[in-house]
Chain A
Amino acid sequence: MKKRSLFSLLMLVIRRDLLLALRCRTDVLTTLVFFVMVVSLFPLGVGPETDMLRKIAPGVLWVAALLSSMLSLGRLFSADYLDGTLEQMLLVPQSLSVLVLGKMVAHWMVSGLPLVLLTPVLGLQFDMSVEAIGVLILGLLLGTPVLSMLGAIGAALTLGLRGGGVLLSLLVLPLCIPVLIFGTGAVGAVTAGLNYSSNLSMMGALLVLALTFTPWVAAQALRISME
């Protein structure tokens, strides 16, 4: 038998979590349907004033993405915690941080990426311009991984607690405010005819920062929660 490298551990964890998501598709679909529902309720509620809809579109889409990522975060570690596989994961001879990074990536692919792909369709409901939708998608592509990564810290800290879901939202949502501000700011800038690249650069910086630190922090939080 050969030994595994860090990269193959990462791929193993991603493949495992994607396979599990494939076997319990309803969990994945509910968060997606939730996202579509929340976003679609706004045009119905606000009425057919296209100016107003265009203005609130980025905010609505971002907040809905934020809320639907909260829904799926509870499952990130709790299923593994309940059946004991998390104990085995803590015993990985390579790095626990890499393993946690793998779980974050898989979580994003299952609950963040589909939101990005649905956005063009939903943007049409708000009469957004093609350019604005493009910037919104770029922002979501940079921002939703940050939501998954910040959320993983919260999920690790609230592991095994009663009412952990609510506590998780209270912990994580304030941390997501910068992502929300820059994400909606970029779309606001492009519709006002301004330069949007500074907003997107800030989001890129947030993504790099989160990639560097959150796996380690979440790994430490897991060790604390397992005591």
Chain B
Amino acid sequence: MNNPFSYKAYKRQVIGGVIAVFVICVAAIFLFNIHGYNTPYGAPWDIGSAAFFPGLIALLLAVLGIFSLISQWQKNDKTAQAKPVVNKSPSKVVISYCFITLITLALPWLGIWLTAMIIVPALSLCFGERRWKMLLLLSVLPPFIIIHLFEDVMGIYFPTGVFF
């Protein structure tokens, strides 16, 4: 761990391992559900049952996850070092993603206008836009065009929210 390259390789290996464990967990959840109490979807090895196909695929996924986990730890540092590190600011992505999720899921309460007028300039800020006039313009013009396109041209109506 003396140089930054080996640290990056190690970090990449750990993230790869975590994803492999996540894959195994997903497969295990499906398998647990299929083989669970009273086998809710029928006998997993019965061709006619609803459990047959997902059982087979979940088992395959679990095996692949285990292989992936093993291969992560067998990887040598040179292979990992060769990978370019594309992501420069993961915290910015996490914050943006959480914000997008929050505002998007709050659409029924905020309404489409408020959602659009918040999310467009906020994302623009994430992309480095700092001119307040531009941000103001972005909070009005794209929502106006896009919402009118959907509502007036295509007849698709969005929730107005609790504030209007």
Chains A and B bind each other = no
Q: Chain A: residues with CB nearer than 8 A to chain B?
A: none
**Chain B interface residues (CB < 8 Å from chain A):** none
